[in-house]
Amino acid sequence: MTSDSATQAIKSEAIELMGKLQRLEQKLLYPAHTQVSIFLSVAKESPALPQAITVKIDDDILSHHLYTRMELDALRSGGIQRLYTGNVKMGKHKLQVDLTKTLKDGSTRRQNLEYKFNKDENAEYIEIAFGSKKPHVIITSRH
C-alpha cells in the first residue's frame, strides 16, 4: 500500500467516524421524546415569498430570520430550511409564527399563525409551507 492510498484510507475512515459521531451527538442532544424540528418550504408557484419569520413555542422565541434573494431562490428551487431543532417537554404546546411576506404584486403583508400540537414520545417534525394556490402558510406535523 502506498502512502497516498494509506492516507486516503485514513481520511475515509475519519470522515465515516465523524458522521457517526455527529449522529450520536444529535441523539444525545435531541432525544426523540423531546425533539422538535421546524422547517420552511416554498412551492415553486407560490404567490408569496417570506421576507422575515419569527418562530415561537409557548411564547419563547426559538428562531428569527430575514431572507436574502439567494435564500429565496434556493427555497423556490425546492430547498427546505431548518428553522429550529431543539427540545420541548412532552405535552401540549402552542407554535406561533409571525411572518412578513411579499406578494407577487410587490405588496407586503404580515401574518400571525398559531398551531397547537401535543408532543409525545416521537420526534416531532413541523413544516411551514408556502402553498402554490393561495398566499397563505400551511402548517403540517408528522412523526
pLDDT in tens, 4-21: 888 888 888 888 888 888
Which pLDDT does position 134 carry in this prediction? Answer: 54
What cell does 65 get?
430570520
CA distance 63 to 84: 6
Mean pLDDT of 99-105: 91
Query: Which pTM value belongs to this model?
Result: 0.74
From the number of C-beta atoms within 10 Å of its C-beta (0-12, 13-18, 19+), residue 47 rates as middle
- What average pLDDT score do residues 118-135 get? 79
